[in-house]
């Protein structure tokens, strides 16, 4: 029985904050007590962590990653091993990655493939959503079985015709199934059919630079798809979670639905909060580094995203970590922006960027922990095991230095990608030590974890619906 005591830190959860010592026993949080209290003084331990001057926060839950994803004629450059290690460096202790059903194949085959990729390689705990790219009678039946196995959420795409795209009838059927089995439908809400027309027209005009990616994937086409997804979910009687929301108009659709008490949820990502179309327009082919979908928007959209996070019209910030190296991968789209693999790196940066949002006054400390730890855990059936520091929870704990300054850079990051989307950005706050189920993964900024420590974690259904 290993006992660790974390002494002297400021414990912050989504619900409260205060100076508390934390006792960890056998991988779980055993107790919290006021420092210097008789209870805390009485704790004996194999290991004592001095957290004086530090925050003691739950490990981050990143509910949207793509490790080793075949996409855009290549595959995302982080494996489960490199990606989960980088996540830990950034204070994230649980990721929910997307297993993929290939067209013409079953959900089971897709899930088995993702289990094989991840088994024995992860530094932190992980779970899966399922991308459904072929809605048919067999797939619909399989959804029930996956919910039973702890894969309780299903991503559908209104974008990428011919790849992941589902039409409205398929979406409605999947939503009807989810309304019966407790699954949560996650939606990539962009009108991909209309976007493909605009891509073709732009390329015919000779508009081939990365910035045109942002111009053809219009905010109105995100808003339209978001609206349509909400109406389809209402008809089906199912809940809906809209992923990677970037447009102000899409936030308005979510806010309207939530104002009607509909079980509609939304996620945004750091890239939409901190980056913009200015990055897509960087000279030469540099803008390719920022090609993702939904795309980066003009800076003016950011205020609506921050507001949505404060008003709870957006509940979660995930990374949509889907890295492609500039050299050899993003370059596939030189001369044709539509061939640039879509996706940005960020699994290592999320907790720090959101802490910077606290420093900048966009968020309170507790809301930081809520949108990065507690809400994603609740949304995807992992709470209170993950996402909080409370007796009985997994001891996934980060000792965070709120005063350290760091400059984000590809030179120093641990993600397996040759650029940083935030190159040169200085932020205040940095991860010091990370525990996953009570075991040290990062110790005073040294990686001491191991591939294979991380376990597949079956999930319950969405906990905002019970």
Residues forming contacts to Zn ion in the complex (CB under 5 A) are 188, 320
CB of 62 to ligand URP, least distance (A): 13
Q: Which of 177, 244, 430, 437 binds ligand URP (CB under 6 A)?
A: 244
d(CA 311, CA 360): 17
Q: Is 343 in the site for ligand URP (CB under 6 A)?
A: yes
List the structure tokens of 17: 């904050």
For position 25 contacting ligand URP by CB under 6 A, the verdict is: no
* In the complex, minimum distance from the CB of residue 214 to ligand URP, in angstroms, rounded to a whole number: 12
Binder of ligand URP out of 342, 349, 436, 461 (CB under 6 A): 342
Least distance in angstroms from the C-beta of 247 to Zn ion: 14
In three-state secondary structure terms, 371 is helix
| Cis status of the peptide bond prior to 359, with omega within 30 of 0 | no
The answer to whether 227 contacts ligand URP (rule: CB under 6 A) is no
Question: Taking the complex as a whole, how short is the minimal distance between the CB of residue 355 and ligand URP, in angstroms?
Answer: 23
Say whether residue 213 binds ligand URP (CB under 6 A).
no
Nearest approach in angstroms of CB 81 to ligand URP is: 20
Closest CB to Zn ion belongs to which residue?
188
350 touches ligand URP by CB under 6 A:
no
Question: Is position 217 an interface residue for ligand URP (rule: CB under 6 A)?
Answer: no
Which is nearer to ligand URP, 67 or 89 (by Cβ)?
A: 67
323 with 417: CB under 8 angstroms? Answer: yes
Determine the Cα angle at 156 with ends 184 and 460, to 5°.
25
What are 172's two structure tokens? 């409605």
Task: Tell me which of 322, 351, 363, 395 binds ligand URP, using CB under 6 A.
Answer: 322
- Among positions 84, 101, 153, 293, the unique one binding ligand URP when judged by CB under 6 A: 293
| 288 versus 399: smaller Cβ distance to Zn ion | 288
Contact 250, 183 (CB under 8 A): no
**Closer CB to Zn ion, residue 65 or residue 82?**
65
Can you tell me which of 21, 97, 320, 396 binds ligand URP, judged by CB under 6 A?
320
Alpha-carbon distance of 296 to 280, in angstroms, equals: 8
Closest to Zn ion by CB, 188 vs 218, is: 188
Q: Count H helices and E strands in the chain, helices first.
A: 15, 18
Pairing of strands 316-317, 264-268: parallel
| Coil, helix or strand at residue 234 | helix
**CB of 299 vs ligand URP, minimal distance in Å:** 19
Q: At what angle do helices 219-236 and 192-204 cross, to 10 degrees?
A: 160
DSSP element (H, E) containing 306: helix 302-311
Q: What is the DSSP letter of 100?
A: E
Shortest distance (Å) from residue 66 CB to ligand URP: 5
3-state percent breakdown (helix, strand, coil) of the chain, nearest 5: 35, 25, 40
Q: Which residues bind ligand URP (CB under 6 A)?
A: 66, 188, 244, 292-293, 320, 322, 342-343
């Amino acid at each position: 029985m290993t006992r660790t005591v974390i002494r002297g830190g400021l414990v912050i959860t989504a619900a409260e904050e205060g100076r508390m010592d934390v006792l960890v026993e056998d991988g779980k949080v055993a107790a919290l007590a006021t420092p210097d209290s008789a209870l805390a003084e009485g704790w004996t331990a194999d290991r004592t962590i001095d957290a004086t001057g530090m925050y003691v926060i739950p490990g981050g839950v990143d509910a949207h990653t793509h490790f080793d994803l075949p996409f855009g004629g290549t595959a995302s450059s982080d494996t489960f091993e490199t990606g989960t290690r980088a996540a830990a460096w950034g204070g994230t202790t649980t990721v929910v990655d997307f297993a993929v059903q290939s067209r013409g194949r079953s959900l089971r085959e897709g899930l088995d493939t993702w289990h094989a990729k991840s088994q024995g390689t992860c530094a932190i705990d992980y779970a899966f959503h399922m991308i459904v790219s072929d809605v048919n009678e067999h797939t619909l039946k399989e959804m029930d079985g996956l919910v039973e196995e702890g894969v309780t959420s299903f991503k559908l795409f209104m974008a990428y015709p011919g790849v992941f795209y589902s039409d409205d009838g398929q979406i409605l059927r999947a939503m009807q199934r989810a309304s019966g089995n407790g699954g949560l439908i996650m939606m990539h809400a962009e009108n991909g059919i209309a976007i493909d027309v605009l891509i073709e027209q732009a390329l015919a005009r000779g508009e081939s630079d990365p910035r045109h990616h942002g111009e053809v994937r219009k905010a109105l086409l995100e808003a339209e798809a978001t609206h349509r997804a909400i109406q389809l979910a209402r008809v089906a009687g199912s809940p809906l979670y809209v992923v990677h929301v970037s447009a102000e108009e899409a936030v308005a659709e979510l806010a309207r639905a939530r104002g009607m008490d509909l079980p509609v949820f939304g996620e945004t990502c750091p890239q939409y909060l901190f980056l913009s179309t200015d990055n897509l327009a960087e000279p030469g082919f540099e803008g390719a580094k920022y090609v993702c979908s939904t795309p980066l928007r003009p800076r003016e959209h950011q205020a609506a995203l921050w507001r949505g996070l404060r008003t709870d019209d957006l509940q979660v910030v995930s990374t949509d970590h889907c890295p492609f190296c500039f050299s050899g991968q993003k370059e596939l789209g030189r001369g044709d922006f539509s061939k640039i693999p879509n996706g940005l790196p960020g699994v290592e940066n999320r907790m720090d960027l959101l802490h910077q949002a606290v420093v900048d006054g966009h968020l309170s400390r507790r809301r930081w922990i809520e949108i990065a730890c507690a809400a994603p855990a609740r949304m995807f059936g992992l709470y209170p095991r993950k996402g909080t520091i409370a007796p009985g929870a997994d001891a996934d704990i980060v000792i965070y230095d709120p005063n350290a300054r760091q400059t984000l850079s590809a030179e120093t990051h641990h993600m397996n990608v040759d650029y940083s989307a935030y190159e040169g950005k200085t932020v205040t706050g940095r991860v010091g030590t990370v525990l996953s189920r009570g075991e040290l993964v990062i110790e005073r900024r040294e990686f001491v974890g191991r591939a294979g420590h991380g376990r597949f974690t079956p999930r319950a259904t969405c906990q905002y619906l019970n």
